[in-house]
Chain A
Amino acid sequence: EAQVTQNPRYLITVTGKKLTVTCSQNMNHEYMSWYRQDPGLGLRQIYYSMNVEVTDKGDVPEGYKVSRKEKRNFPLILESPSPNQTSLYFCASSPGRMNTEAFFGQGTRLTVV
């Protein structure tokens, strides 16, 4: 089954404690991205990757890092989480040839206290 898998689904952490949210896709997609969803703001892109070892900032990259060492994986790293990063996070992938559908993971609800 074609899917994008995020882990964990729920996470509560403390300010400053480094964490990683994993994202994996099994569709051999080239393009992957991370979004955060906040009430009244919709979804905003954090980072994206056009292919292995190619990443770039989205609209709200501050406080986040990503890496793309393998085509299927695109982890989101919060080196020093802060309460304003409490949000619902989505990973998405698409073939990268335009005119195509983005597939989304189930989401990770992160709370930073």
Chain B
Amino acid sequence: AQSVTQPDIHITVSEGASLELRCNYSYGATPYLFWYVQSPGQGLQLLLKYFSGDTLVQGIKGFEAEFKRSQSSFNLRKPSVHWSDAAEYFCALTQGGSEKLVFGKGTKLTVNP
């Protein structure tokens, strides 16, 4: 069965520092991959998605992610973190033919001033 692993439960970075959140997936074919962000008390908002084509995808709020088939990874990056980026981040996938999202357990990001 397909699965998503986010190895880091909690990450703390300083404002202005770079950020990389890890995501690994298990799936027989190429999945459709997503990163969602959940701010405190809010629902989930889509940051970016990968379906095919260019393996480096750009999203909202200055985020990007790179799909690496050889490593079964879809890591999220941002060159300079802002205090407003503090939130929980979820990596997710769907398999071809399905709308069902399979989520990782999330990574909570804390940003220090």
List A38-61 residues whose CB lies under 8 Å from chain B. 40-45, 48, 50, 58
Assess whether A106 is interfacial by the CB under 8 Å rule.
Answer: yes
Q: How many A-B residue pairs have CB under 8 A?
A: 57
Q: Which among A14-22, A62-70, A71-79, A91-99 touches the partner chain?
A: A91-99
B contacts with A, residue count (CB < 8 A): 24
Assess whether B113 is interfacial by the CB under 8 Å rule.
Answer: no
List B9-36 residues whose CB lies under 8 Å from chain A. 9, 32, 34, 36
Report the separation of the CA atoms of residues A39 and B100 in the bound assembly, to the nearest whole angstrom. 20
Report the separation of the CA atoms of residues A21 and B100 in the bound assembly, to the nearest whole angstrom. 21
Size band of the interface chain A makes with B: 20 to 34
Q: Which among B68-76, B77-85, B89-97 touches the partner chain?
A: B89-97
A45 and B43 in contact, given A98-B94, A101-B49 (Cβ under 8 angstroms): no
Contacts of B41 in A (CB 8 A): 107
Q: Which residues of A contact B (CB under 8 A)?
A: 4, 31, 33, 35, 40-45, 48, 50, 58, 90, 92, 94, 96, 98-102, 104-107
